[in-house]
Amino acid sequence: MANLPKGSKKLLNAWAFYDWANSVYTLTIASSIFPIFYSALFISEIKNVHAFGIDFKSTALITFVTAFTFLVVAFTSPILSGIADYVGNKKNFMRFFCYVGGLGCIGLYWFSLDHIYLSILFYFMGLIGYWGSLVFYNSYLPDIAFEEQQDRISAKGFSMGYFGSVILLLINLGMVMSQENGEAKMQMMRYSFVTVGVWWILFSQYSFYYLPKGASKGHKVTRKVIFNGLRELQQVWKQLKSNLILKRYLNAFFVFSMAVQTIMLIAVYFGEEEIEWGSDDAKTFGLIISILVIQIVAVGGAVLTSRASAKFGNIKTLIAINFIWMALCIYAYFIISPIQFYIAAFCVGFVMGGIQSLARSTYSKLLPQTEDTTSFFSFYDVAEKIGIVIGMGIFASIDQFTGSMRNAILFLFIFFLIGIILLFRVPRKKED
């Protein structure tokens, strides 16, 4: 393990490289090939699955499972971050979740409706591994980068993630499209899940080598420290009461992130169900191309957003991006053809990377002077996860009871509107 000073180029690059390692999960599993694979398991006329004693609409089931996973992450992450802070070794926790997620992706090779509970467990492992590791990954940002470096390195991390995930997706796309019949294509999709798990675990080793372990405090975990994280969140909450800027920013972030993450998690399911592709092959190819468009455009979007924030300020830039998201919700309600979906994908890509990287770096810059960054980022992550649970829960409920994802995605318009209003209420600080 190397011992590099804060702000060093090699340390910053090693931190950003974890985005290269883990972003293949969000692209292949969360956003493209797994949603296509999952939808293909169902007969075109029958989109229901029986689980937990209930007949679910297929898209509603996976959305509810996703929401439940985020609920677990929201409640466990502060406990784990509290233990990590007490022991002084958050890298081990980040590594643990990385391995759980990677193994969960590999386990998706055996996903089937005949073994739905085991299949959901593997899906759960991948999702909780990804988001669980991000709790500790994000908390490293103020530890490894000075304030003036944080916008740039945060955007670089997302950009590296987009590049890396696109490379693997192109390989996976070649694997799938090289096959002639549907069964062979499905088998290649299963192999792609394995490649994601191997890629994630393998490339994360570079980050784990250079990231600091954290000051070892020589403490042992006892029953008393299990809930340290929750107590720390209480302390953060108390500090927020006297920090108006950070408190109002978190209120806004909670609302607009709820909508952004929901759209990102259901985009391909929406495209698979609501767009008239013409044939199954055209659908598979079109959906993957759409995701590639999102990823490629997102790289430029993250860079342009970083530059815009430097010129106009973080809050003003976030407000502008939320206006674009709001317009996209209205547009998505009416789209039917593949070309309309491609246009939506281009626009989503432009604002997706920007809002993620800028939201993270804005929060980091607004933090008070403290060494306890893990607790503050744990609070940030809990707010994000609870928001996702609410957003996904509302989306799944509207989808389940109205039978249309269009109605659900139009409803997200409200969250972006509220987010904009709340961002206008954030007091200005320095360039923000």
**Helix/strand/coil percent split, the chain, to 5:** 80, 0, 15
Q: Max alpha carbon distance in the chain (Å)?
A: 63
Q: What distance in Å separates the CA atoms of residue 23 and residue 400, rounded to the nearest whole number?
A: 29
Q: Minimal CA–CA distance to 288: which of 34, 116, 23?
A: 34
Q: Which residue has the tokens 């993630």?
A: 161
Backbone angles phi, psi at 14, to 5 degrees: -65, -40
- 330: how many CB neighbours lie within 10 A of its CB? 11
Backbone angles phi, psi at 428, to 5 degrees: -80, 140
What's the rounded mean pLDDT across residues 123-150?
A: 82
Q: What letter does residue 219 receive in the DSSP assignment? A: P
Q: Kindly tell me if the per-residue pLDDT of 79 is higher than 90.
A: no
Give, in order, the Cα–Cα distances in Å from 392 to each of 324, 389, 408.
21, 5, 10
Q: What is the pLDDT confidence band of residue 189, given thresholds at 50, 70 and 90?
A: very high
Q: What distance in Å separates the CA atoms of residue 156 and residue 235, rounded to the nearest whole number?
A: 32
The pTM of the full predicted model, rounded to 2 decimals, is: 0.71
Cα of 179 vs its chain's centroid, Å: 31
Q: What letter does residue 426 receive in the DSSP assignment? A: S
Q: Residue 55 forms beta bridges with which residues? A: 50
pLDDT at 204: 94
3-class state of residue 57 by DSSP: strand
Q: Which residue has the tokens 């403490």?
A: 219
Q: What distance in Å separates the CA atoms of residue 399 and residue 61, rounded to the nearest whole number?
A: 10
Q: Residue 366 forms beta bridges with which residues? A: none
pLDDT at 431: 46
Read off the amino acid at residue 150: Q
Q: Kindly tell me if the per-residue pLDDT of 155 is higher than 60.
A: yes
Most confident of the ranges 41-45, 269-273, 412-416: 412-416
pLDDT at 129: 92
Q: What is the pLDDT confidence band of residue 158, given thresholds at 50, 70 and 90?
A: confident
Q: Kindly tell me if the per-residue pLDDT of 195 is higher than 70.
A: yes
What's the rounded mean pLDDT across residues 231-244?
A: 75
Residue-wise pLDDT for 2-31, tens only, equals: 677 776 788 888 888 899 999 899 878 877
Q: What distance in Å separates the CA atoms of residue 2 and residue 344, rounded to the nearest whole number?
A: 44
Percent above pLDDT 70 for the chain: 87
Q: Are 45 and 297 in contact (CB under 8 A)?
A: no
Residue-wise pLDDT for 370-424, tens only, equals: 656 667 777 777 888 888 888 888 888 887 778 778 888 888 888 899 999 999 9
Residue-wise pLDDT for 280-332, tens only, equals: 778 878 888 887 788 778 778 878 888 888 888 888 888 999 999 999 989 98
- In the chain the domains, ranked by start, together with CATH numbers, are 9-40+49-424 (1.20.1250.20)
Q: Which residue has the tokens 């830039």?
A: 317
Q: Minimal CA–CA distance to 315: which of 430, 155, 148, 154?
A: 430
The radius of gyration of the chain's CA atoms, rounded to the nearest angstrom, is 21
